[in-house]
Structure 1
Amino acid sequence: MASIFSRTLIRWRWAIITTWAVIGYVAAQRAPHVIEVLDVRGGTRIQTEASRAEQTLRERFDRPLNDLFAVTLESPIPVDSEPARLLLDSLLASFERQRFIHSVVSFRNTTDSTFSMISGDRHLTAIALAMNAPVGDSVGKLVMPVRSLVTEAFRTTGVDSTRYKVSVTGRSPLDLDIKTVTAADSRRSELRLLPLTAGILLLAFGALVAAVLPLIVGFLAIWITLAIVVVLSAYTPMSHFVLNMTTMLGLGVGIDYSLLIVTRFREELNRGLRRQEAAARTLHTAGAAVLTSGMTVVVGFAALLLTPLVETQSVGIGGLVVVAVAVALSTTLLPALLAVLGRQIDRPRWLARRLTWYHAPTAWERWARSLARHPRRALVIGGVLIATLT
């Protein structure tokens, strides 16, 4: 049965490649929106005293406190002196004109001594904005418009933004900032890992085409998973932890499983099989190992779904999806590409010749024989290295 499946998949290789290309294109359109749907606050699905209190506040008060934005103005001079006063007046007037802002509270319109809106030296003041959003989730979408109003106030008044600092904070702005930093860290890690990973794969395979294939599988698994997370967020909260975890795990398992498939395919070619036969044989053998390994990891992540914490469940869902996608890519798209490429995976030939020293069996044989002759010495050296690293 497995042999029939392998041959059928290779026979329909172009249809499989086209299908994954379409999926990848759709994922590339949806994945960048993942930052907008991630949940920072987390929590538990079991109702707690804190969650009951928050629900009561939302039901009994028209404008709950967690829907407030705090705009702070830090000035080198008193805020009621020029040009700080000009900037403050521009901000207040701009906020009061907006329909999505229900009310504006500053030291100008409050006399409550217990709720001070200005510091003792009058160099720092705060403005409270009650947002006019129908549901809690839509409050986060108002952060950037409010920050745009601040930027516009600096532009129209001509006040130096390097000397006068205005910050928009609060629960929703903080959530947005955390998600933005998380996304930026994820992008930076991908860019830093790409050349290092490519170099290691190039050294391992001794061929540029063969080294690129695992990278395609790894990054495609990440993008497809992020697109799926966007869809799933409409039905369940997805923590921002899933972003970095998906990047790390997707690249790792994608490359790991691809290494097994590509290495076995090259072995089958060296045994004299034609490219389609080698791809089918690879899928029948190494593909089965990848499927078994991947499903074991999926079961492990599925166990995290039984916990009540949103963060843990999100990690479970993200890990489950990215590993399943990596397995699917490694056992369908990759064999199809190999069946098309055949011996072309060893291109360019000149690079393979230059790296023959690394793949020469004599070097590895000497290393293995040395370990076999002096096992105690190897154990001591290895133990010291591990102890040093830990």
Structure 2
Amino acid sequence: MFVLGRRWAVLTVVVGAMLLGGLWGSGVLDRLSQGGDIDPSSEAALVDELLAEHFGIRSPDIIAIYRAPDGKTVDDIGPAVSARLAEVDRGLLAEPIEDYWGATGPIRSLLRSGDGSTALAVVFVEGSESERIASFTELEPQLTVPGVSTELSGFSAIADEVNKESKRDLVVAEMVSLPVTLLVLVLVFGGLVGAAIPVAIGALSMLGALAALRLLSMFLEVSVFSVNIASLLGLGMAIDYGLFIVSRYREELAAGADTDEAVTRTMASAGRTVAFSAVLLLCAFAGTLVFPQQMLKSLGFGAMAAVALAAALSLTALPALLAVLGPRIDALTWRRGAFERGEARAQRFWGALATAVMRRPVVIAVTIVAGLLLLTLPLLGTRFGDVDHTALPPGNETRTTVEQLTAQFPIASSGATVVVRGEDGAPPGDAAVAEVSRAVGATDGVQQAITLGTADGMVAIRAVLEDPDRSVAAVDTVRRLDGIEAPAGTELLLGGITALSVDSVNSVLHYLPVMIAVMVIATLVLMFFAFGSIVLPIKAVLMAALSLGATFGILTWIFYDGHLTGLLNVTPGPLISGMVVLIIAMVFGLSTDYEVFLISRMVEARRDGASTEEAVRIGAAKTGRVVTAAATLLILVTGAFTLSDLSVMRFIGVGMIVALIIDATVVRMLLVPALVKLMGEANWWAPPSMVRLRERVNVH
């Protein structure tokens, strides 16, 4: 084995590479994007391009809100504000600032509140999306007027606040998850050295994940959420893999093997299982790459990099470290023999539980399946949406500013824009434009319709909505606008922030079956070649589906229906479609991951001549403790997301906690043994043609 002969060299190279990579990768924190959630091929995205190219209209990046002191009006503070705005660095601006004091015509009255106490300045920032967000920190002090109440809103302000929250969340999550997981591992292994090994591998995985994301940011937009997810996923999976390998290594040492032999046997069994489970997880996250949204691609690539690094380190640095330590892995044991005694007790417990389950497999299987399906029911009434300012906690200063701005200045919302153009390239007729304008203005939820102008044979009509952008009511209004029938000879295109959100959600739902098909097919193929059965892979997919359904049913009950939202300090609303995709990938991958851990031990016992019932008992006894411990550790790591102030991260944290509890206990240790018992010898069946195919490719 290569690692055994060069253990010190492997450790030196791997640790050095991860440390340097982490140092370089920390620069990704300044290259993050909060956008990338739109489908660039959507109709709303096309409208954005047409408005910018032909009408010179684009969405503002920052909206500065200036409030006059009590007893004064915005005209009194005009000289001070105008002087301050004149000093803003023009190199950061894509267009001159539009403000109440410098505006003329109808737009001027729209930039002033009805009572004259508040006025706006609209700022358009130069550069790419990430550059515009980065410029906010420079523009914020330049837009602030001494002695005048100044608040900043708009895309860049929200994105900057989300970025800050995300960075704080990562630090808090690391500070909490690392020591807590170490403590749990000390309890599992009964000693500090054995417990520290998986945590050390996890820490290296986190550093490597930063380097991978920094590299990724050179080629596409990296979501602000990618760093947290990739870092903590890398930590969690490395600890899980480390736990599985270290447990098997100690088992081999206890059986009388010397250090090198124990490492070799461990990597041939547990190492092979880890490699295979990592491939399954990679296939699950690869499904996210079918979506056109850059955010989902970056989340998928980041998660894949984290899993690949966790597995690679577990298959290289970990065995090298085990070879160096040898029996000293039991050093600093707080209670001699605690691990062995705990393992023996756990095997007796899980073996007895499996035996009890197999006495009444029908009752247990029917009860659990019915219960999981019942938990799925709330999902039938859910809605999906996008990330907006409500991702920030209630009471957050930026969120409050956005809500006050929307209430006081409806024009500050993007609303919706209808572009009317002739089907043959000719300008639309006046009668057709008037008909569309009347239809837009008469649509329920539209405050008024404003013709923005005519350019290059197109007419743009702005629909001022009664409700804030991306709200449920605004989405319903946009759907009604989308139903307006185009007059003969014309084509209608619908855009705006809410329309972009609607198109993005529709795009996610359109590609979601493709993603699921990729995951399912990859799982069926890989598990067949691993275990030689077609029944076991199908069962694994169905188990994952049950876990996912129950998880999303509970998430709908909490985050959409509004139960427990006060406890979690989040605002109920539609489930964020992008985060739904991510949870599907993570839960499906982890579900099949734990299935592999359990089934691999059953298959080992089966190859040694055990009956199906005995193989189930042995598999549950051998893996019950490690799977439960692995799930507990992953709950602690991903559960750190619930400490975030961002509702998006809390959604992921709660989702992972629920899914892991359901899957690692109810499904894996109760439902799976019951079903394997019921299916008997059919578990190991595959069509003869597939058996021959497997033999030809020499899979053992």
Deviation at 1:204, TM superposition (A): 0.9
Count of aligned residue pairs for this structure pair: 369
Give per-residue Cα distances to partners, 1:196-247, cap 9 Å, x unaligned: 3222211111111111111122232233123212211222233334334324
Cα distance in 2 for partners of 1:212, 1:369 equals 31
Residues 248 and 60 of structure 1: is their aligned pair in 2 closer, same or farther, counting only changes over 3 Å?
same
Aligned partner letter, 2:134: K
Cα distance in 1 for partners of 2:228, 2:134 equals 23
* Alignment match, 2:288: 304
- Of 175, 178, 189, which residue of structure 2 is paired with 1:194? 178
* Partner SS, residue 282 of structure 1: helix
Cα distance in 2 for partners of 1:98, 1:251 equals 44
Residues 68 and 61 of structure 1: is their aligned pair in 2 closer, same or farther, counting only changes over 3 Å?
farther
Aligned partner letter, 1:36: D
* Partner SS, residue 106 of structure 2: coil
* Alignment match, 1:92: 85
Deviates more, 1:336-345 or 1:135-144: 135-144
* Alignment match, 2:659: none
* Alignment match, 2:27: 33
Give per-residue Cα distances to partners, 1:61-89, cap 9 Å, x unaligned: 67x5235432112344235488x668635
1:333-348 mapped onto 2 (5 Å cutoff): 333-348=317-332
Cα distance in 2 for partners of 1:139, 1:367 equals 56
Q: Which runs of 5+ in 1 are unaligned?
A: 1-6
Residues 360 and 268 of structure 1: is their aligned pair in 2 closer, same or farther, counting only changes over 3 Å?
closer
* Partner SS, residue 336 of structure 2: helix
Q: Does the 8 Å CA contact 1:208/1:347 hold for their aligned counterparts?
A: yes
Cα distance in 2 for partners of 1:376, 1:347 equals 44
* Alignment match, 2:344: 361
1:278-289 mapped onto 2 (5 Å cutoff): 278-289=262-273
Residues 240 and 104 of structure 1: is their aligned pair in 2 closer, same or farther, counting only changes over 3 Å?
closer
Deviation at 1:46, TM superposition (A): 5.3
Deviation at 1:20, TM superposition (A): 1.5
Q: Does the 8 Å CA contact 1:238/1:311 hold for their aligned counterparts?
A: yes
1:61-100 mapped onto 2 (5 Å cutoff): 65-66=58-59, 68-77=61-70, 78-80=72-74, 88=81, 91-95=84-88, 98-100=90-92
Cα distance in 2 for partners of 1:130, 1:275 equals 65
* Partner SS, residue 222 of structure 2: coil
Deviation at 1:355, TM superposition (A): 4.6
Deviation at 1:327, TM superposition (A): 0.8
Residues 127 and 45 of structure 1: is their aligned pair in 2 closer, same or farther, counting only changes over 3 Å?
closer
Cα distance in 2 for partners of 1:176, 1:10 equals 48
* Partner SS, residue 223 of structure 2: coil
Residues 87 and 221 of structure 1: is their aligned pair in 2 closer, same or farther, counting only changes over 3 Å?
farther
Q: Report the aligned-residue RMSD.
A: 3.4
Cα distance in 1 for partners of 2:112, 2:288 equals 47
Cα distance in 2 for partners of 1:342, 1:135 equals 53
Give per-residue Cα distances to partners, 1:245-282, cap 9 Å, x unaligned: 32443233211111121112222222333333432332
* Alignment match, 2:191: 207
* Alignment match, 1:141: 134
Structure 2 residue 197 is the aligned partner of structure 1 residue 220? no
* Alignment match, 1:4: none
* Partner SS, residue 104 of structure 2: coil
Structure 2 residue 118 is the aligned partner of structure 1 residue 108? no
* Partner SS, residue 70 of structure 1: strand
Q: Which runs of 5+ in 2 are unaligned?
A: 376-549, 555-700
- Of 225, 236, 260, which residue of structure 2 is paired with 1:276? 260
Deviation at 1:295, TM superposition (A): 1.2
Cα distance in 1 for partners of 2:258, 2:191 equals 19
Cα distance in 2 for partners of 1:268, 1:223 equals 31
Structure 2 residue 46 is the aligned partner of structure 1 residue 52? yes
Q: Which has the higher relative contact order, 1 or 2, with Cα contacts under 8 A spaced 6 or more apart? A: 1
* Partner SS, residue 35 of structure 2: coil
Q: Does the 8 Å CA contact 1:79/1:125 hold for their aligned counterparts?
A: no
Aligned partner letter, 1:359: G
Aligned partner letter, 1:145: E
* Partner SS, residue 152 of structure 2: strand
- Of 114, 117, 124, which residue of structure 2 is paired with 1:123? 117
Cα distance in 1 for partners of 2:153, 2:41 equals 28
* Partner SS, residue 352 of structure 1: coil
- Of 8, 13, 26, which residue of structure 2 is paired with 1:14? 8
- Of 339, 352, 364, which residue of structure 1 is paired with 2:335? 352
Structure 2 residue 222 is the aligned partner of structure 1 residue 238? yes
Give per-residue Cα distances to partners, 1:322-348, cap 9 Å, x unaligned: 111111000001111111122222221
Cα distance in 2 for partners of 1:25, 1:330 equals 16
Aligned partner letter, 1:192: V
Q: Does the 8 Å CA contact 2:230/2:303 hold for their aligned counterparts?
A: yes
Cα distance in 2 for partners of 1:144, 1:289 equals 48
TM-score w.r.t. the length of structure 2 is 0.47
Percent identity over paired residues: 26
Residues 72 and 201 of structure 1: is their aligned pair in 2 closer, same or farther, counting only changes over 3 Å?
same
TM-score w.r.t. the length of structure 1 is 0.80
Deviates more, 1:207-216 or 1:180-189: 180-189
* Alignment match, 1:3: none
Cα distance in 2 for partners of 1:134, 1:359 equals 59
Structure 2 residue 299 is the aligned partner of structure 1 residue 315? yes
Cα distance in 2 for partners of 1:223, 1:171 equals 30
Q: Does the 8 Å CA contact 2:85/2:142 hold for their aligned counterparts?
A: no
Cα distance in 1 for partners of 2:244, 2:97 equals 62
Deviation at 1:376, TM superposition (A): 5.2
* Partner SS, residue 66 of structure 2: strand
Cα distance in 1 for partners of 2:292, 2:176 equals 35
